[in-house]
Copies of this chain bind each other. A is one copy, B any other.
Amino acid sequence: MFELGQLRCFVAVAEELHFRRAAARLNMTQPPLSRQIQMLEQELGFPLFLRSSRAVRLTPAGAVFLDQARNLLRMAEGAAQEALRVARGETGSLTIGFTAASSYAALPRLVALVRAGAPGIELNLREMVTGEQWTALRAGAIDLGLLRPPAHGLPFLRLEREALLLALPRAHPLAGEEAVDPAVLEGQPLITYPPLDGRYLHDLVLSVLRLSGVAPGRVQHVSQTHSILALVGAGIGLALVPQAAERFRPVDVVLRPLRGTPPLLAELILTWPEAGNPVLEAVLAVLRREWAEPARGTPRT
């Protein structure tokens, strides 16, 4: 097969229609140029030029091949440029796994920051629960995970810290209070996260209860926060949910801080398999620089 150098020789001769001038343009002498063209012609199996000792002309097949050669050379340069931009993290694509809950506040903010700070980078978004995200991170199916701790040793960035709020029906006697005493949970049916799939929030809720010295009644496990809120609204029980739930709270449910509770904060982290992907590095650089924990990430005072 021919080589790109031969194509460069061919294009030069085809454009100059003069071997000596073409050779000068290529910074070489003319005999080796003649040989390169001959070898190219032999490789291709047809003549590219009609040499009449006084003039050089392209054959019809040569004219066709000239178009192709120019295309190939242009594409070759473009290929290097394109990949170089990816290597520099200036362009490329990342796939982000995110939990349903994060899609209301953290995810839109993250997408907006990346769009503004690294406009060449395309983000593919895939909603999946925390457990799926770990699998996907290990398999390389996603480049970033937006999920709850722990990070299992992987590098991570903490995006949000939010207090757990008590979710109770609007019709509940204490719904009008500014803040609610944890004691009301004593013996009450509680809806909380499952210990495996939603381990982090499950443990966090238990910590809150333990620290408050409260023992709830029957406990129901539901993994998605919006389902929990729906059950609360239906009067099935009370629940402790992260503050972000305020964004998708049904109208018949209200969220209230627990009075006197030590600030147990639910964290949302961004994690990734490892360093080395420049596109990823570019996105992380933007986030480290631009992301400031919003005021709403701290509990109401």
Contacts and interface: CB of A to CB of B under 8 A. Distances in A.
Contacts of A69: 79
Interface string A56-80: 0001111011001101100111111
Interface string A76-91: 1111101110111000
Interface string A97-120: 000000000000000000000000
A60 B86 CA distance: 7
A77 B2 CA distance: 9
B3 A60 contact: no
Contacts of A64: 82-83, 86, 92
A83 B61 contact: yes
A278 interface: yes
B75 A68 contact: yes
Contacts of A75: 68, 71-72, 75
Contact of A87 (B45, B78, B276, B277): B45
A276 B57 CA distance: 11
A26 to B, nearest CB: 13
B72 A87 contact: no
A173 interface: no
| Copies of this protein chain in the complex | 2
Nearest to A277: B60
A295 interface: no
A185 to B, nearest CB: 49
Given A87-B59, A92-B60, A2 B65 contact: no
Contacts of A60: 86-87, 92, 277-280
Give the interface centre of A50, A72, A86, A87 by most chain B CB atoms within 10 Å: A87
A87 B46 contact: yes
Contacts of A76: 1-2, 72
Interface string A38-64: 000001111100100000000111101
A87 B69 CA distance: 16
Contacts of A3: 3-5
Given A3-B4, A60-B277, A278-B61, A79 B72 contact: yes
A57 B111 CA distance: 28
Given A61-B83, A72-B72, A72-B76, 11 more contacts: A3-B3, A45-B87, A46-B88, A60-B87, A60-B278, A60-B279, A64-B82, A64-B86, A65-B79, A68-B75, A68-B83
Interface of A: 1-5, 43-47, 50, 59-62, 64-65, 68-69, 71-72, 75-80, 82-84, 86-88, 92, 276-280
